């Protein structure tokens, strides 16, 4: 079987030599375990954090160990009564072609209910992140303005569409004309701004004539700078991700603008609340899967996937994800 391990820790932008493709024997399984042939691997921005030794909410991947990641696999051997060969399951097996998994950690998927890849995207972790973060922390009300960046990706696209389901106005921010057109025309956002436009801040202000009530933070960086002055009193800011700075290491350059921002946090009664989606999983995941499946069936939520063929192409695809070279939920077909 094949797998990709972390060969070394990146400084800044990851490079192909930080990864290594290896071939290893397929391991034997024990009681309560299954052997999986991996069909699809999800690539997600959080994996950049696992490549780094810096302290975070989850342990770093050790050098020489397979990169971690969400996967959809087919059971090819089972020593657990709940699973039989041919079953399709959601697992967290990482960047490899085959994996041993504990049956207790698997969720069976119904291939007839939805395309299997959706378990890694709109019906999976990213879709859930949007749902839980927006509804629990953002709490959009009818008529309010919700802004989200990385709006063509699985989290951002779901945030905007759920905001519209709740009666709010959705303003998306994305990189480049092709992504912007898709966010407006297919995902149905009310307005979309290209963050590469030098006039981005003025255009965002024009697209938000009543200010911003919910800013779902996915990127940080220059987008945050443009958003911050537009926040209304009592605005809510679920802090979900800061992908613009994942490749940065050490301290951040520039003047310290925190005191001015804290003044506005106080005077505008802002709620800035970070979260990791799994905090909400036990309480909300079943309802999410039900509601999201219904929204997709009704056409209220659309999704876009970007599927790359071949495990060996995962490193290059992942490097591109951090720079916006993906267009939709990035998945590797093994
Ligand atoms: P995407 O598929 O949207 O990929 C990331 C996107 O970020 C890129 O395509 C790019 O889009 C955009 N981007 C990259 N650099 C910049 C930049 N400097 N400025 C503006 N935009 C940039 O990713 P996901 O939907 O999977 O994830 C979105 C965010 O949600 C990430 O920050 C991720 O870490 C976070 N997340 C957090 C979770 C949690 O539990 N807190 C769980 C899951 C995801 P473009 O071309 O439009 O610029």
Per-residue pLDDT tens over the stretch 83-109: 999 999 999 999 999 999 999 999 999
Per-residue pLDDT tens over the stretch 274-290: 999 999 999 999 999 99
Calculate the alpha carbon distances from 218 to 32, 77, 147 in Å.
39, 40, 10
The answer to whether residue 251 scores a pLDDT higher than 80 is no
For a ligand 1 pocket test, name from 218, 273, 331 the mutation site with the most ligand atoms within 8 angstroms of its C-beta: 218
For a ligand 1 pocket test, name from 131, 155, 224, 238 the mutation site with the most ligand atoms within 8 angstroms of its C-beta: 155
How many CB atoms lie under 10 A from the CB of residue 247?
16
Q: What is the mean pLDDT of residues 11-28?
A: 96
| ipTM for the predicted complex | 0.99
> Pick from 95, 79, 82, 97: which is nearest to 36 by CA?
97
Residue whose Cα lies nearest atom 17 of ligand 1: it is: 244
Residue whose Cα lies nearest atom 16 of ligand 1: it is: 244
Helices marked H in the chain: 47-50, 125-132, 154-165, 177-185, 200-207, 221-227, 258-267, 278-298, 314-321
pLDDT of residue 252: 80
Domains with residue ranges and CATH for the chain: 2-121+305-333 (3.90.180.10), 125-274 (3.40.50.720)
Under 8 Å CB-to-CB from 158, ≥6 apart: which residues? Answer: 122, 126, 127, 130, 131, 292, 301, 303
Residue whose Cα lies nearest atom 27 of ligand 1: it is: 155
Residue whose Cα lies nearest atom 33 of ligand 1: it is: 241
Both tokens of 153, joined, read 């990706």
pLDDT of residue 279: 98
């Amino acid at each position: 079987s094949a797998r990709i391990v972390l060969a070394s820790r990146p400084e800044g932008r990851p490079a192909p030599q930080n990864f290594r493709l290896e071939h290893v024997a397929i391991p034997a399984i024990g009681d309560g375990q299954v052997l999986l042939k991996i069909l699809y691997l999800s690539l997600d921005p959080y994996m950049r954090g696992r490549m780094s030794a810096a302290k975070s909410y989850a342990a770093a991947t050790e050098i020489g160990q397979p990169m971690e990641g969400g996967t959809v696999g087919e059971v090819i051997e089972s020593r657990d009564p709940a699973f039989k060969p041919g079953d399709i399951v959601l697992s967290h097996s990482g960047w490899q072609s085959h994996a041993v998994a504990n049956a207790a950690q698997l969720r069976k998927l119904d291939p007839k209910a939805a395309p299997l890849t959706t378990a890694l995207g709109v019906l999976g972790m990213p879709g859930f992140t949007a749902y839980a973060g927006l509804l629990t922390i953002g709490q959009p009300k009818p008529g309010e303005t919700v802004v989200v960046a990385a709006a063509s990706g699985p989290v951002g696209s779901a945030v905007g569409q759920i905001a519209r389901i709740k009666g709010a106005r959705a303003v998306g921010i994305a990189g480049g004309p092709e992504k912007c057109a898709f966010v407006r025309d297919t995902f149905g956002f009310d307005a979309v701004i290209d963050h590469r436009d030098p006039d981005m801040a003025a255009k965002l202000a024009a697209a938000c004539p009543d200010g911003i009530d919910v800013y779902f933070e996915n990127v940080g960086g220059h987008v945050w700078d443009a958003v911050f002055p537009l926040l209304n009193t009592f605005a809510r800011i679920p802090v979900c991700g800061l992908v613009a700075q994942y490749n940065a290491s050490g301290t951040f350059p520039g003047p310290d603008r925190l005191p001015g921002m804290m003044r506005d946090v106080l005077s505008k009664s802002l709620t800035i609340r970070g979260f990791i989606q799994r905090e909400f999983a036990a309480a909300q995941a079943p309802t999410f899967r039900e509601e999201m499946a219904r929204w997709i069936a009704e056409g209220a939520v659309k999704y876009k996937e970007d599927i790359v063929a071949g495990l060996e192409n995962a490193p290059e695809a992942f490097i591109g994800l951090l720079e916006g070279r993906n267009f939709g939920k990035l998945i590797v077909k093994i």
